Amino acid sequence: MNAAPQFEPHDPLPEEPTQAERFGRARTAQSTALLEDYVELIADLLAINGEARPIDIARRLGVSHPTAAKSINRLKREGLATAKPYRGVFLTEAGVALADRVRTRHRLVVQVLEAIGVPPETAEADAEGIEHHVSDVSLRAFSRFLKARG
């Protein structure tokens, strides 16, 4: 019979409130990541095609049409988007502002990853996850790092 492997922590565990807060931030980031992906894509589709149809949103995010519709309804409830029958989805001012923040954060993460030697295609893919979880403190440090490099 095999015994369960024993693992030794590399560093001491943080205090419980600190660790709980970190996990709480991660859960919040996961919850908002979906909305951020939607507004970023909608902004891109509007800029490129002049419209963002739910079927196009679903296809590009690799989800079913009902799943996209559910998320679009959440965007509307959150005041980030509006939808017009037969005309698609449009962003409110708050939605546009969020899309701009997400796009800026994405670009900054990509630039840092590329600066440390990550290939561009991998940097783009990795930034999709990192951009939703990185703190403002880290983003400012990323920006300083890039500026210092010239």
Instruction: Give every CB contact of residue 79 below 8 A, 6+ residues apart in sequence.
Output: 92, 94, 95
Is the pTM here over 0.95, yes or no?
no
DSSP string over 49-86: HS---HHHHHHHHT--HHHHHHHHHHHHHTTSEEEETT
Residue-range domain boundaries for the chain? 31-149
Nearest to 131 by CA among 113, 118, 149: 113
pLDDT tens digits along 88-145: 999 999 999 999 999 999 999 999 999 999 999 999 999 988 998 898 999 999 999 9
Going 30 to 34 to 39 to 42, the CA torsion angle's sign is positive
Let me know if domain 31-149 sits in CATH 3.20.20.70: no
